[in-house]
Amino acid sequence: MVAVVVKAIRIDRLGGPEVLSPADVPTPSPQAGEALVRQSAAGVNFIDVYLRTGLYKRDLPFVVGAEGAGVVEAVGEGVTELKAGDRVAYAQTPNLGGYAEANAVPARQLVPIPDGIDDRTACAVMLQGMTAHYLATDTFPLRAGHIALVHAAAGGVGGILVQLAKARGATVIATVGTEEKAALARGFGADHVINYADGDFAAAVRAIVGEHAVDVAYDSVGKETWERSLSLLRPRGLLALFGNSSGPVPGIEPARLASGGSLFLTRPTLGNYIATREELLGRARDLFEAVIGGKLHVRVGATYPLAEAAQSHRDLEARKTTGKLLLIP
C-alpha cells in the first residue's frame, strides 16, 4: 500500500541552508504520464542552491530536488513502458520533489537502471554525467589534438568530464582548489593539474601550452574565472559557461569576443541536450555502459541522511566536497 505521507525537505522561504526544512508531505499521486518512484537516493546539485536562494525562480513552498533513483511504486494513466518494481533514475523533472522518500516523475524522463549498476551510482551519474557527456560530445565535440581546460575538475561534473575528454583523445588541463583535489584530478586522467592556491591559473596555463592555445574552456565556476578562461582561448575557441558556483557572470559585450579572435561563448543547460526521449536514453546508455565496462569511474563524495540536507548544501557551497553528493531517504 502506498503511504499517505512521506518525509521530504521543503522550502517555505528563500535563504541559506537553514531554510531546508524536514516536513511530512502528502505522497505524490502519479498523474497521467507519470510514475511514482520510491526513492533510494536523491542527488544534490548546485541548481538546488540557486532555487533555494531565489537566483532561479520558483513559487513557494516547494520540495527541492530534480534528480533521484529508486523503484517504481505506481504508474499513472497512459504509462505503458514502466511498471511497479522497475528500477529507474532521472536527472530532471519539472515537478522537482527529489528531496523526498517518493516523487512523481514524468515517465518520459525516467531511465531504466541496468543490471550491474546500483541505485546510488545510477543517481550519481545522471545529471552530472549527462552534463559532462553533452559538453564533451556536442557543445564542443572533443577529439585528439584538442586542449581542454576543465575547472573544478574534482567535482561531480568535472571528474567525469576529465575522463570523457581523455577517452576522446584530448589533452586536459584541470583546475582544483586543494592538493587533495589535485590528486583526484590526476587519478581521473588529467594531463596537467593547477591548484588555484598556487597562484593565477591563467598564468599557469600559459606556462604549459603558451598564449591563446586552449581550444575549449569548460567553466562551471563563473564570476571568479570566466574572464581568464576567455583570455586563454585560441582564435575561434569556445567558452562553455555551464554553471556559476562563484556567482553569476555579468553581461558580455559581443565586441569582446571579436577582439579575442572571433571567440564563441555558450551558456548550455542539460534540458536542451536531452530534449527528446531518444537523446536522453542515448546519453544514459553511453554512461551506464562506460561504468559497467570499467571505463568511467563515478565518485560518490559523500552521502547524507535526508534530514541533513542543509549540511549537504553548506558543504557544497563551501567547496569542501569532491564527487557526487547524495541524500539517502
pLDDT at 2: 64
- Residues 212 and 318 placed together within one structural domain of the fold: no
Say whether both 202 and 164 belong to one domain: yes
d(CA 267, CA 293): 32
Instruction: Judge whether 137 lies within some domain.
Output: no
**What is the reported pLDDT for 321?**
82
Residue 109 covered by a domain: yes
Query: Which pLDDT does position 69 carry in this prediction?
Result: 98
Q: Quick one: 116 and 165 in the same domain?
A: no
* Residue 133 domain flag: no
**Is residue 164 located within the same domain as residue 255?**
yes
Q: 167 and 93 in one domain? A: no
At CA 134, angle to CA 95 and CA 271, rounded to 5? Answer: 20
For 205, the domain range is 144-267
Same-domain pairing of 257 and 320: no
Segment (H or E) for 255: helix 254-259
Q: What is the CATH number of the domain that holds 221?
A: 3.40.50.720
In a domain, 275, yes or no: no
Cell of 244: 556559476
Q: What single-letter amino acid sits at 113? A: I
Domain membership of residue 274 (yes or no) is no
Are residues 263 and 295 both part of a single domain? no
Domain end, chosen from 267, 293, 315, is at 267
CATH number at residue 12: 3.90.180.10
Task: Clarify whether residues 63 and 13 are in a common domain.
Answer: yes
**Which one of 235, 267, 299 terminates a domain?**
267
The pLDDT, as a whole number, for residue 245 is: 85
Cell 553548506 -> residue: 314
Q: Please state whether beta strands 147-150 and 171-176 pair in parallel, antiparallel, or not at all (unpaired).
A: parallel
DSSP string, 100-114: BSEEEEEGGG-EEPP
CB atoms within 10 A of CB 105: 30
CA distance 148 to 142: 8
Neighbours of 139 (CB within 10 A): 19
pLDDT one-digit tens code per residue, 163-216: 999 999 999 999 999 999 999 999 999 999 999 989 999 999 999 999 999 999
Count the helices and strands in the chain (H runs, E runs): 9, 16
Asked if 227 and 199 sit in the same domain, the reply is yes
Whether 217 and 233 have beta carbons less than 8 Å apart is answered as yes
How far is 183 from 197, CA to CA, in rounded Å? 14
Cell of 35: 510514475
* Residue 191, domain member (yes or no): yes
For the whole model, what pTM was predicted?
0.93
Q: Are strands 214-219 and 192-195 parallel, antiparallel or unpaired?
A: unpaired
Residue 62 burial (10 A CB sphere; 0-12, 13-18, 19+): middle
pLDDT at position 68 is 98
Assigned domain for 139 exists: no
Structural domain ending residue among the three candidates 267, 294, 313: 267
Residues 290 and 261 in one domain: no
Q: How many domains does the chain have?
A: 2
152 lies in the same domain as 261: yes
Residue 28 lies in a domain: yes
Nearest Cα neighbor of 314 from 102, 15, 17, 12 is 17
262 and 174 within one domain: yes
Burial of 154-172, coded b for 16+ CB within 10 Å and e otherwise, reads bbbbbbbbbbbbbeeebbb
Tens-binned pLDDT, residue by residue, of the chain (329 aa): 566 899 999 999 999 999 999 999 999 999 999 999 999 999 999 899 999 999 889 999 999 999 999 999 999 999 999 999 999 999 999 889 999 999 999 999 999 999 999 999 999 999 999 999 999 999 999 999 999 999 999 999 999 999 999 999 999 999 999 999 999 999 999 999 999 989 999 999 999 999 999 999 999 999 999 999 999 999 999 999 998 888 889 889 999 999 999 999 999 999 999 999 999 999 999 999 999 999 999 999 999 999 999 999 999 998 878 889 999 99
Contact 92, 68 (CB under 8 A): no
Question: How far from each other are the two terminal CA atoms of the chain, in whole angstroms?
Answer: 18
